[in-house]
Structures are given as structure tokens and as C-alpha cells.
């Protein structure tokens, strides 16, 4: 069986915070993507730092994952 390569995520980055919030919510990558109308690959790219979402998309993700927009974007303040 082939192993899936999961590149390391820079702790403290937007991708790390997104992944952390998703994991805290108990969601697999496809779930928040479906909740906000993104593709699964978009979430993967955001989490690994290959792409950055627009502010509108980031706002949608923060709402879907029930975290503060400020925390998701900057890491400052409270997560919720």
C-alpha cells in the first residue's frame, strides 16, 4: 500500500492554525471544504502553505470552524 506524504507544517503559520482548528472540530479535510463550498484540494493547499485564501474565504473558514478570524489570520488573541 502506498503511503501518503504529508509535508511538515510550519507551527504558527496560517496552515498550522487552520489544521489545528479543523482537528479540534473533529473534521477531516473534505468536511470544512464542503461546509464553505471549497474543494478538498483548496483546504490541503491552505494547510500546507502552497496557497493562501482570500479574506472572504478565510472569513468563511473561521465561521465554519468556530474560531476567531484574527486568530486564524495572525495567531494573536483567543482562538475562539
pTM for this prediction: 0.81
Q: Which domain holds residue 44?
A: 14-74
Q: Where are the alpha helices (DSSP H) in 1-80?
A: 14-24, 30-36, 40-48, 55-65, 69-74
* pLDDT number for residue 67: 95
Q: How far apart are CA 8 and CA 6, in angstroms?
A: 6
* pLDDT number for residue 77: 81
Enumerate residues 6+ apart whose C-beta is below 8 A from 27.
65
Residue 41 within a domain: yes
Successive 10-residue mean pLDDT values, the chain, 80 residues: 54 86 92 91 92 92 94 85
* pLDDT number for residue 80: 73
Per the structure, the count of domains in the chain is: 1
* pLDDT number for residue 3: 59
CATH code of residue 28: 1.10.260.40
* pLDDT number for residue 44: 93
Amino acid at each position: 500500500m502506498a503511503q501518503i506524504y504529508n509535508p511538515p507544517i510550519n507551527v504558527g503559520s496560517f496552515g498550522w492554525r487552520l489544521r489545528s482548528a479543523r482537528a479540534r472540530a473533529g473534521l477531516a479535510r473534505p468536511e470544512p471544504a464542503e461546509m464553505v463550498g471549497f474543494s478538498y484540494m483548496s483546504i490541503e493547499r491552505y494547510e500546507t502553505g502552497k496557497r493562501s485564501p482570500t479574506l472572504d474565504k478565510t472569513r468563511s473558514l473561521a465561521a465554519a470552524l468556530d474560531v476567531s478570524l484574527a486568530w486564524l489570520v495572525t495567531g494573536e488573541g483567543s482562538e475562539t
